[in-house]
Amino acid sequence: MRVVRDVIGTMLVGFSAGSLGAQGAVAGAPSPGSLVAPTVTKVEPPDWWVGHSINPVRLLLHGSALTGARFSCAPLSCGNVRVNERGTWAFVDVTIPAATKPGAFPLTLRTGGGAVKFDFSVHAPLARAGRFQGLGPADVLYLIMPDRFANGDQSNDDPAPSRGQFRRDDMRHYHGGDLEGVRQRLPYLKDLGITAVWLTPVQDNVDTVAHRPRERWAPNGYTDYHGYGITDLYAVDEHFGDIAAYRRLVEEAHALGMKVVMDLVANHTGPEHVWAQDPPVPSWFAGSRASHLPNNWKMGELTSPYAPQAVRDSTLWGWFADRLPDFDQRDPEVSRYLIQNTLWWAGTTGFDAIRQDTWPYVPRSFWKPWMAAIKREYPQMTVVGEVLEQDAMVVSFFEGTKTNFDGIRTGLDQLFDFPLQGAMRRAFMGGGSVREVAQAMARDRLYDHPERLVTVSTNHDLSRLLWEAKAGDDGLLLLYTFLFTTRGIPQIYYGDEIGMTGGGDPDNRRDFPGGWAEDPHNAFVAASRDAREQRIFTHLQRLIALRNERPELRGARTEQLFVSDQVYVYRRGATVVAINNGTEDAEVAVPGLVLDRAAVIGGCGVASRGPGGVVLRLGARVGCVY
């Protein structure tokens, strides 16, 4: 952003707030005798598009001595100016005429103390073909924490703006993974069969953590390598690269026939954001650093029309960990800012879908216009909301097609299926009963569209599947067999394909082996994988390929044919899946089933016919797909 300051020696006449069209717009009058020159240090958003569904776009300017601001914006027009009491933040609507040609337009802010110029760029919109595509049943989603996946650019390991946060031997510091590393590994993901890549947040986080106390769980201090402590919603963190690197990643993914999902956070910001000390308006956050509600995490209470208001308020407006400032989306300025920020990232980078963090903790009254704004501009783009809860009654409440007791239908496209994830984990990894999986599937009746659910292996908030798993690798293969043959959109976590393990945060965020030049072992290359890693990789690769080959695995209804304590047989179209979760061989008769072929996955031979129907003979801990 180019900023030029011009101190005017004579006092400018004060104006009343209002719009002056293309010539200018003004806020409240400056203090009498004030000759302090204004400064503008940041403009959000820094640019916009001709013909966009949001016009005018509302700018938020940060600076000093902005009281009494008026704007000159020709050939654009400005209006609806608002400046906070301290004169550090100014809002202004900028209207872009339909005939505007793309380019940089110098806007001028004047006060009684002087003037400052800054550029605001207007672009032609990105071509829609091959962008903003959304997620669907044909996709396989792969979650990456960029800092822990691959280091493609060592120059940003310990970048100048934020020295001292890089330390690969500490799980709470940056390790050097970045956007370039992800870009370089796209062919690897393509070979596995991945169609969509979801990155945890890449927006800018805090530059220094020296002020943070040393905790028992972080004796060397802790950083926001995970990306969820955002301090600049319009920038990429320098440890990961820059916006050009993110756009390059999106473009190359599209060239390979893959999609990109951006992780956004509309519930809160990082504690070190300048807003925490100097909010643009008093109601920017729900409370302040000195006085705010703690979050009680009672998500389920939001689904009850009878929950106490105090409990609901603490859930919706409480600050996470008593330190993450919670946006107050009831304020129109906050709502407008967050909506524009979402559309700015989409329009700037061309990503395809959004994973929205902490969905239940944001008021549904905000999600409805947020979703509507996305759909107006990008009708095919989809959003998957995080409702991290094992109870399907709670998760289904947030399905976007439902109008609930609050009278709101949010329009959310998809939800993560954490209830099924828990059932799968307990059955296949813990050696529990597969009846629980069948029962979890029966709760699909709670959803309008269970086929839209994103079925989860695990993620960055959960321990790895193999952590303390009784069934080990055999159970993992069974879980994958079910995950890729059941309804929904399957999602796996980086390293799932080679059987990475790890406990709770941050142990579940270990580096992918081979992502760093100095790594002694490189699991990105088939020739370097050990036999165990290759077994898991090949099994997953074959399942994804089969899912691509058979349309019924992406869309046909599920019919349960046989369920016992440890055997689960179901059919989707012409495909039959038989899973023996037990530690001994099993033989089951399935009435009414016609099956005259051997399994293509799992090693089961051709089924025989008996008086009770088709007889399936299944080895211990085997999943066969016919």
| Predicted confidence band of residue 21 (pLDDT cuts 50, 70, 90) | very low
pLDDT of residue 27: 64
What whole-number distance in Å separates Cα of residue 92 and Cα of residue 114? Answer: 18
pLDDT of residue 567: 98
- Which H or E element spans position 341? helix 332-349
| Predicted confidence band of residue 11 (pLDDT cuts 50, 70, 90) | very low
| Predicted confidence band of residue 8 (pLDDT cuts 50, 70, 90) | very low
| Predicted confidence band of residue 25 (pLDDT cuts 50, 70, 90) | low
3-state secondary structure at position 438? helix
Q: In Å, how far are 114, 203, 370 from 341, measured between CA atoms?
A: 30, 11, 11
The share of the chain scoring above pLDDT 70, in percent, equals 95
**Dihedral in degrees, nearest 10, Cα atoms 512, 518, 524, 528:** -120
> For residue range 309-328, what is the model confidence (pLDDT) as tens digits?
999 999 999 999 999 999 99
Residue 266 has pLDDT above 50, yes or no: yes
> For residue range 510-558, what is the model confidence (pLDDT) as tens digits?
999 999 999 999 999 999 999 999 999 999 999 999 999 999 999 999 9
Whether 254 is in a domain gets the answer: no
Locate 542 and state its tokens. Answer: 């074959």
| Predicted confidence band of residue 22 (pLDDT cuts 50, 70, 90) | very low
**Where is the domain boundary, 99, 123, 147?**
123
Closest CA to 523 of 504, 510, 508: 510
Locate 283 and state its tokens. Answer: 């109601």
Q: In Å, how far are 30, 171, 472, 510, 511 from 220, measured between CA atoms?
A: 48, 10, 34, 18, 19
| Predicted confidence band of residue 610 (pLDDT cuts 50, 70, 90) | confident
Locate 311 and state its tokens. Answer: 């409990």
In the chain, what is the greatest distance between 2 CA atoms, to the nearest angstrom? 102
Mean per-residue pLDDT, 335-342:
99
Residue 505 has pLDDT above 50, yes or no: yes
| Predicted confidence band of residue 572 (pLDDT cuts 50, 70, 90) | very high
**Where is the domain boundary, 123, 154, 179?**
123
Q: What is 149-194 written as a DSSP string?
A: T----GGGSS-GGGTT-B-TTSTTSB----HHHHHHTHHHHHHHT-
Whether 35 is in a domain gets the answer: yes
pLDDT of residue 34: 57
CATH number of residue 586's parent domain: 2.60.40.1180
> For residue range 135-144, what is the model confidence (pLDDT) as tens digits?
999 999 999 9
| Predicted confidence band of residue 28 (pLDDT cuts 50, 70, 90) | low
Residue 5 has pLDDT above 80, yes or no: no
What whole-number distance in Å separates Cα of residue 485 and Cα of residue 550? Answer: 10
**Where is the domain boundary, 76, 94, 123?**
123
| Predicted confidence band of residue 29 (pLDDT cuts 50, 70, 90) | low
Higher local confidence (pLDDT), 450 or 16 = 450
> For residue range 272-307, what is the model confidence (pLDDT) as tens digits?
999 999 999 999 999 999 999 999 999 999 999 999
Mean per-residue pLDDT, 602-609:
92
Mean per-residue pLDDT, 597-601:
95
Domain that holds residue 585: 558-625
Q: Per residue, what are the HEC states of 280-297?
A: CCCCCECCCCCCCCECCC
What whole-number distance in Å separates Cα of residue 334 and Cα of residue 341? Answer: 11
Residue 396 has pLDDT above 50, yes or no: yes
Domains identified in the chain, total number:
2
Mean per-residue pLDDT, 57-84:
98
Residue 496 has pLDDT above 50, yes or no: yes
Whether 589 is in a domain gets the answer: yes
pLDDT of residue 356: 98
Whether 40 is in a domain gets the answer: yes
> For residue range 200-214, what is the model confidence (pLDDT) as tens digits?
999 999 999 999 999
Mean per-residue pLDDT, 350-378:
98
| Predicted confidence band of residue 585 (pLDDT cuts 50, 70, 90) | very high
pLDDT of residue 613: 87
Whether 101 is in a domain gets the answer: yes
Locate 382 and state its tokens. Answer: 């989809």
The share of the chain scoring above pLDDT 90, in percent, equals 93
> For residue range 153-193, what is the model confidence (pLDDT) as tens digits?
999 999 999 999 999 999 999 999 999 999 999 999 999 99
Q: What is the DSSP letter of 326?
A: B
Averaged pLDDT of the chain:
94
Whether 592 is in a domain gets the answer: yes
CATH number of residue 58's parent domain: 2.60.40.10
| Predicted confidence band of residue 31 (pLDDT cuts 50, 70, 90) | low
Whether 297 is in a domain gets the answer: no
Closest CA to 146 of 171, 119, 178, 116: 178
Whether 322 is in a domain gets the answer: no
Mean per-residue pLDDT, 96-110:
98
Locate 20 and state its tokens. Answer: 């002056």
What whole-number distance in Å separates Cα of residue 626 and Cα of residue 618? Answer: 12
Mean per-residue pLDDT, 51-73:
98
State which amino acid sits at residue 190.
K
